[in-house]
Amino acid sequence: MNQSQRINNRYNELTDLEYQFYEEKAIELCAREIGATTLNENQLKIFQALREVYIKAVMKEEILNTELSKNNLFSGITIEHRKDVELYSKKEEEKDMLWYEIVLN
C-alpha cells in the first residue's frame, strides 16, 4: 500500500476527536502557507473548500516527520555501533601488542 492509500484509509477512519485535531492543524498549515496567523472569513471559506486536502497534507507531514525521526534514531544507533566497533578494534590491537611484548620478553 503506497503512502497516498495509507493516508486515504487513515482519513476515512478518523474519529471525531482526531478529525477535530487534524482540522485545527490544517487551519494552522493553511494560515502558514498564506503568511497569516489566523484566517479571515474569506480565507476560511477557501479553507473549507479545501479542508480534506489540507487535513491529508497535515497527515502526510506527520508521517514524513515520523519516518525522519525513525531514520535519525537508526542513524544514531549506527554511529554508536561504529564507535563501539572502533573501540573494540583498538582494544584488540592493544591486547595483541601486549601479547607480542610478553612473548618477545
pLDDT tens readout for residues 48-99: 989 999 999 998 888 877 766 666 655 555 555 666 667 777 777 777 777 6
User: Element (H or E) spanning 36, and its range?
Assistant: none
3-54 pLDDT per residue, tens: 888 888 989 999 999 999 999 999 998 888 888 888 899 988 988 989 999 9
Predicted model pTM? 0.60
Going from the C-alpha of 92 to that of each of 75, 98, 102, 104, the distances in angstroms are: 25, 10, 15, 18
Locate cell 534514531: which residue?
Answer: 73
Number of domains in the chain: 1
- Give the domain range for residue 97: 3-104
